[in-house]
Structures are given as structure tokens and as C-alpha cells.
A and B are shown apart, each in its own frame.
Chain A
Amino acid sequence: MIMKESFNLDISKFTKVLKYLLYFSLFALFFVLEGLPSGFPLIFSVKPMLVLSLLVILSLLESEMSTIFFALIAGFLLDVGMAPLGVSSLFLCIVCTFLSNFSKKKFHVRVLSATLSTFIVALLYSLYIFTAVYLIPGSERASIIFVDRFIPSILYTVLVSPLMYILILTIYTAFKKKLN
């Protein structure tokens, strides 16, 4: 009996590790797709923020503690070549942890709420990065960059978020069934 329980515990731990490995692989995959010239179709010369979208959906489904961990990973990935290291992680840790906590208590996670959450986080994140990287240093082309790059990217991210939600929900449900 004890042996059976111990075996179940191991299986459960293994499944959890497997799930987190899969999530981590998705982060890596989306990071590569974002950086690859032909990794994802361009619309108005921009790509969607896949890593950010993945993080938002995960924070809606997973626990706050997991969200902090994923926000760290996503933040570091987003900072590569974009902003000083830690800038994105700092922002995403705070916003996504609160979003995760909020989603558990205040609303049901559905496609619409996931899309709306992605839009809000993408908008806040873009404004934050735009301010830190372009506005404060006084870039001459700041306004053009915001209109030409940031806004299409936010909209593209929102467009992709329902698909991201379906993908992550499928993985999440499959692992949940297995764990139960």
C-alpha cells in the first residue's frame, strides 16, 4: 500500500516535471520563432509577441508560484537584444502574478477573457518598454516606432492569442487528467 502511494507520488512528480519541461520547450520554441527571419509570418513588418502571449495564458491557468517562474524565463528571453536585462522580468513578474491571482478569484478563464488579458498585458508591456527604451532616452523616431512597430505587434499578438489559449489549454487539460 505504502509502496503504491510512493509510486503514485513519483508518477505525479514526474508528470509535473514533464509538464514544466514542455512549457519551457514552448518558451524556447516561440523565442526562436520570434527571432527567426521566416519563423512566423510578418504582418506590417512585425511579428506577434509569442513568448508574452504564452506567459499570459499560462498565468491564467497555472498557479501564482509557477507564474513567477515562467515570468522570469519569459522576461529574460524578451530582454535579449531588446532592453537591459531584468527590465521585462521585473514588469512581467508583477503584472502576471497579480493577473494569475485575479483570474483564480474574479473571472472564468475562457477564450475571450484570455484574449482580453493578452491585450491588456501586451499593451502595458509595450508602453513600459517603449517608455524605457525609446521615450526616456529621447529617441527622435519614438512616435513613428510606436505607431509602426508597437501597435501592429500588439494587435498581432491579440490575434494569435486565441490559438495560443487553445494550445495551452489542451496541454494543461491533458496533464490535469493524468495527474488526477
Chain B
Amino acid sequence: MKGFFRSNTFKVLLTVITVLFGITMLSVTTGSSSFSGFITDIFYPMQSAAVSLDNSDTKLYDGYSQQELKKICTDLTNENDRLRNLLTDYYNMKEENALYRDLLDIKKEYKDLELTGASVIGRDPVTAKEKFTINVGLSDGIRMGDPVIAASGAVGVVTEVYDYSAVVSTLFGGKVKTGVKINEATESGVVTGGNVLGESDYLVMDYLKIDTDVKEGMIATTSGSGVNFPPEIPVGTVVLVRDSSRDSSKTALITPFVDEEMVERVFVVTNYRTAYKSDEGGE
């Protein structure tokens, strides 16, 4: 090896390395690709000849040449892209349409309510039933305590509000105590999320009269009393009436109309306090 370090070959190698180091530094710092382009230009004729040979019109598959197959493939890819875009538009429009339809239904039913449509943008996998985040906030006129409803009924209340988002605590959330009534049985009370094992999927309506007429299948709606919801918004269906564990009163278990874990589109009532609570205050 000693002989090699003294040889002319080593000197040539050193010279070449020095020159190459310079070229490398130059191309790294300036990003110069002119020499690279020169090399590509040298081999371009050979490459293009090879490509055209590669694309020769030999019938390869089922009577189609490679060129024909390539054209068919390109056409199908383009068609596929176009249809995929159409499908995306279709789904967007479908979703938008559903949102507007819900909005229209609610607007028809609750003419005085000012509603702001919102989409659910975040759910914690553990507390999905208790709260979720929506894509509207202070900038959209949302305030703390605003009621949140969906096309099929009451959902919850805004409990945290930021500039462009808000957190909604659902009827199961514990932070919300909603006044409800059952018109068929002239009963009213407060519902909270079930906190007993086996009842966590139900809303619980406590303190019903001992001789209550509430039966399975009856509909519970908001009563308008309390601070949370306007009256007559559907809450759910009574599925069970049982004795209370605390006293001699009765307790009703209610299945909510809105699936809190799955709901995607909701509406925030932004004028509830001014339109309803001020009226009450005036009275």
C-alpha cells in the first residue's frame, strides 16, 4: 500500500478528487445543473431511440399494441379522475343539501329562532357522548350558554367558546340540566345523563309524581323553563318508568332523539337569550 501512496496513480487520484470536490461544492452551493444537463443531452439520442424501440408497435396483448394500450390507459385514467371529481362534488352537494334541508325544517318549526349551522369537527374518543367541538365560535356570534339543536331534537349547550370554534356539552354532559315536559302526561322535570351502570345511554328524568301517567313511548320535549333551551324542542322517547332509588317518586329513562356520538351537523341558537329570556323577563 505504501508504494501506492507514492505512485503517480495516487497523485492523479488526488488531483481528480480535488477537482471533483470543487465541482461538488459548486453544484451544491449554486444548484448548477448545466453539466448535469450536458450529460443528459449526450445520452438523449440513445435514450429516445431506446424509448421509441421500447414503444414499438408490436402487438402485445389481445391484438393491442403497447401504444394502443398506453392510450387506453391514459384515457381511462383521465375519465377516472373526472368521475372522481364529480363524485366528490356530488357528496359535498349532498351534505350541503342535507344541512339546508335540516335548517329549513327547523326554521319552519321555530320561526323566531336565529340559527347558525355548524359541523362537528372534533370528538374525544373517550368523552364523545358528553361533548364535542364545532366549527363556529365568537366570530360567528356564538356565546357561552347558547343552546345547540339538531334536526331531530335538542343536543346540548355551548360551554366553551373560542374565536373560531366552540365546545358543546351534550345533554349527557353533566354540565347541562335541561327542563323537560311530557305533554301527554302533564309531567315536567329535569333530565340529566344517566350515571348508574347500565343506564349511561339514557337520559334520566327524576322526581316524577308517585302516581305519574308517564308511560313508555311518550315523547319528552323541552319545557322552556330554566336557562338552557327554548320550549317544545324534542328531547327523546320514554323507554322505562321505574321507582326512584332516592325517595318514593318515580324516574323515567329517556332515549334521546339525537345520537350524540354520531351527530355531524348541528345548529346553534344565537338569539335564545334575547328572543326568549328577555320576553320572560318582560313578563
Contact = CB atoms under 8 A, between A and B. Distances in A.
B20 A90 contact: yes
A68 B24 contact: no
Nearest to A75: B20
A86 B50 contact: no
B54 A87 contact: no
Contacts of B23: 85-86, 89
Contact of A35 (B7, B9, B17, B47): B47
A94 interface: yes
A89 B165 CA distance: 56
A114 B32 CA distance: 36
Contacts of B28: 84, 87
Nearest to B21: A90
A86 B24 contact: yes
A36 B43 contact: no
Interface string B206-226: 000000000000000000000
Contacts of B46: 28, 32
A93 B13 contact: yes
B47 A32 contact: yes
A36 B20 contact: no
B36 interface: yes
A39 B20 contact: no
Nearest to A106: B1
A101 B54 contact: no
A85 B31 CA distance: 9
Given A76-B39, A85-B23, A101-B4, A39 B50 contact: yes
Given A94-B17, A101-B4, A87 B43 contact: no
A165 to B, nearest CB: 23
B126 interface: no
Size category, B interface? 20 to 34
A93 B9 contact: no
Interface string A62-95: 0111001000100111011100111101100110
Interface of A is mostly: helix
Contacts of A90: 17, 20-21, 24
A81 B16 CA distance: 22
Interface residues of A, number: 31
Interface string B16-40: 1100110110111001110110011
A72 B27 contact: no
Contacts of B197: none
Contacts of A76: 35, 39
Nearest to B8: A65
B51 interface: yes
A97 interface: yes
Nearest to B7: A64
A156 interface: no
Contacts of A68: 9, 12-13, 16
A79 B12 CA distance: 22
A38 interface: yes
Contacts of A150: none
B24 A85 contact: yes
A31 interface: yes
Interface centre among B28, B36, B51 (most CB of A within 10 A): B36
B12 to A, nearest CB: 6
A31 B43 CA distance: 9
A132 to B, nearest CB: 9
Given A32-B46, A72-B16, A101 B27 contact: no
Interface centre among A36, A68, A80 (most CB of B within 10 A): A80
A138 interface: no
A117 B21 CA distance: 25
Interface of A: 28, 31-33, 35-39, 63-65, 68, 72, 75-77, 79-81, 84-87, 89-90, 93-94, 97, 101, 105
5 contacts: A84-B24, A84-B27, A90-B21, A93-B17, A101-B9
Given A64-B9, A93-B20, A101-B1, 11 more contacts: A31-B43, A63-B9, A65-B9, A68-B13, A80-B36, A80-B40, A84-B24, A84-B27, A84-B28, A84-B31, A90-B20
